[in-house]
Amino acid sequence: MRVRQLTAAAAALLLAAGPAGCSADRGPARTPAPAPVPAEPTATTGDVRPADRTAVRDGGTLRWAVDGVPATLNVYQGVASADSALLAHALYPSLFRPDGHGRPVPDPDYLAGAESTPPGQQPQVVTYRLNPRAVWSDGTPLSAADLDAQRAALSGLDPAYRGARPAGYDAIDSITQGADPHEVRVTFRRPYAEWRSLFGPLYPAAETATPAAFERALTGGGRPGAGPYTLSRYDAEGGQVTVVRNPLWWGDPPKADRIDFLAVPPGQRLDALDQDRLDVAPLTAAVDRAVPVASPSASTSPAASPSVSPSASPAPPPAAAPEAAALALRRAESLPGVTVHRAAAASLTQLTLNAARDPLTDPVVRRALTKAVDRRRIADAALAPLGLPAEPLGSHLLAGDQEGYRDDSAAAGSADPGRLLDEAGWMRAAGGGPRTKGGRPLALSLLVPAGSATAQRTADTLTAVLAESGIVVRPVAAPVESFLGEHLAAGDYDLALFSWPVGPSPASEQRPAYAKPRPDADGALDPGSNFGRSGTEEIDRLFDRAAAELDPAARLDLLQEADLRIWQLGHSVPLYQRPELAGVRTGVVGAGTYGFGWPRFQDVGWSR
């Protein structure tokens, strides 16, 4: 389950390597693109040592690094974090879970079966058959009441409920018990194709049935869960959450006796692994945002020690961010008894073009820039230093390892970017150099997250690539704290480099990134989450039709048509999937990098 809201998108984009309406009347938006060749998923996401339960011993404790003790375990509250979601997967049910290609499949621990009425039959009714053994930790069986309360909290129909509003809940008309207490019938007011993404995680009705209950911080013990583990300790001040085996768990018995989730900042995780204080540690930020290390003589420089004579030789400058990241990765790979797992994350790094800023208001300029970007060179610069395949992306909506992925980049057209820029009036002198128009150079700012080595490598390569077409790019690094609000959402950039999460429900999850901006109450265009600020009615309709199309093949056709139109619009350029790294102690099974999925906590443990 990946909650799609502005805060979730911000969290993803700030790990980036780490979305004035514009018509298409000057471009080929209505021209069919060359038919791309559909591709099978290239590989499953994730890099996890498979859990052969017979080879995992019973007992033991795992120490797992998190950024901090989360303010809530309710992933639908605004203060929820990625750590909220991680812990929720150990403690609460999800009726479906994504497989290695992002396809939602029933979790038999909670769901014996689920079936939707066929395409064309109205109204759409989904019948869930809950596992009759599935109970909350107070002994109460999972029931229609839990699903109905969650629907009421997340549908947006009652404004007293605040927090995230994941797509799909507003499409539900009613939830009732079926033939017996374990059968649940969900009737939709309009067809909703991505219904499998609903009710994951699912919370007990007591936590969602009223606005007051929903707003409470879901922390500490004493509240019912329904996972393989239950809460034993929730210590925000001490930086630790401990889960232990759920005595009422009905599925495969958890292998580990307990898991200690320990708040360890990314910059301290390599030390903690080296000192045997952690067993599982996400390392993406630890490597990507590694702090440059000054030489030993820095401690004797005048800035570090007032007692040193001002005539002392200054220390050499610290290493640049990519060099520090390379050192951190080499250290991680050399730690004794630790394996570095790496994979492509379920997050698409893209270059977004601000269509509300001149000269990008001209769709011809946007298409030229889109064509000038060498995605393979950029992917190689970003991913190869991390030991990942340099696979460029060709879709705005699907990752390369998702079912139905295809490279739609040919939809941008076959015209040479230089010819397009000439057509738009941006000319280049015979000797080369930057293009100009009316004496003004074609110079664009590039917003990048500060401190990210992967973003810096990407920006450096992108700057060099676009310079070959006479486009001057000036990278501007923005701190994590201000990247979203002060720059991206405010439109204070020309080009922006960030990541956008991708999951099993692209029609509903990706639509906000490409929805045509609409006027707000004051008449100004409100881009919402469309940070590129370009869109069309046609693209919106394609997303809406895909979200309502119950035939999987027809739904995929609509999504791919939407992707073609986004390419033709010159909204953004997908570059690569964001890298994901984790350090796992030798002997730990079932842990690593998870891609679209999440840990099956009952299988995680120590090998025999």
What CATH superfamily classification does 68-257 receive? Periplasmic binding protein-like II (3.40.190.10)
Q: Which residue has the higher pLDDT, 547 or 306?
A: 547
Q: What tens digit of pLDDT does each residue of 453-466 get?
A: 999 999 999 999 99
pLDDT confidence band for 190 (50 / 70 / 90): very high
68: DSSP letter: S
Query: What mean pLDDT is predicted for residues 356-365?
Result: 97
Which residues, 6 or more positions from 278, have their beta carbon under 8 angstroms from its beta carbon?
Answer: 63, 64, 65, 262, 264, 269, 272, 583, 585
| CA–CA gap between residue 503 and residue 513 (Å, rounded) | 14
CATH topology of domain 9-31+345-576: Dipeptide-binding Protein; domain 3 (3.10.105)
Per-residue confidence (pLDDT) for residue 45, from 0 to 100: 63
Alpha carbon 526 to its chain centroid, in Å, reads 23
604: DSSP letter: -
Question: Of 274-288, 296-310, 515-529, where does the model show the most confidence?
Answer: 274-288
Beta bridge partners of 200: none
* pTM of full prediction above 0.85: yes
Per-residue confidence (pLDDT) for residue 320, from 0 to 100: 61
| CA–CA gap between residue 432 and residue 470 (Å, rounded) | 7
Query: What mean pLDDT is predicted for residues 484-497?
Result: 95
Is residue 534 scored above 70 in pLDDT? Answer: yes
Are the C-beta atoms of 281 and 269 separated by less than 8 Å? yes
Q: Nearest Cα to 1, choosing from 85, 57, 60, 83?
A: 85
The type of residue at 221 is G
Q: Nearest Cα to 74, choosing from 225, 195, 243?
A: 225
Q: Nearest Cα to 473, choosing from 496, 500, 491?
A: 496
pLDDT confidence band for 36 (50 / 70 / 90): very low
Q: Nearest Cα to 35, choosing from 393, 576, 557?
A: 557
Is residue 227 scored above 50 in pLDDT? Answer: yes
What residue spans define the domains of the chain? 9-31+345-576, 68-257
Element (H, E) at 544: helix 537-548
480: DSSP letter: H
| CA–CA gap between residue 65 and residue 281 (Å, rounded) | 5
Are the C-beta atoms of 19 and 500 separated by less than 8 Å? yes
Q: Which residue has the higher pLDDT, 3 or 292?
A: 292
DSSP, residue by residue, 450-515? TT-HHHHHHHHHHHHHHHTTT-EEEEEEE-HHHIIIIIITTT--SEEEEEEE--S-HHHHSHHHHP
Half-sphere exposure of 89 (CA within 13 A, CB side): 19
Q: What tens digit of pLDDT does each residue of 426-472 get?
A: 999 888 899 999 999 999 999 999 999 999 999 999 999 999 999 99
Are the C-beta atoms of 608 and 68 separated by less than 8 Å? no
Q: What tens digit of pLDDT does each residue of 364-394 get?
A: 999 999 999 999 999 999 999 999 999 999 9
| CA–CA gap between residue 454 and residue 437 (Å, rounded) | 33
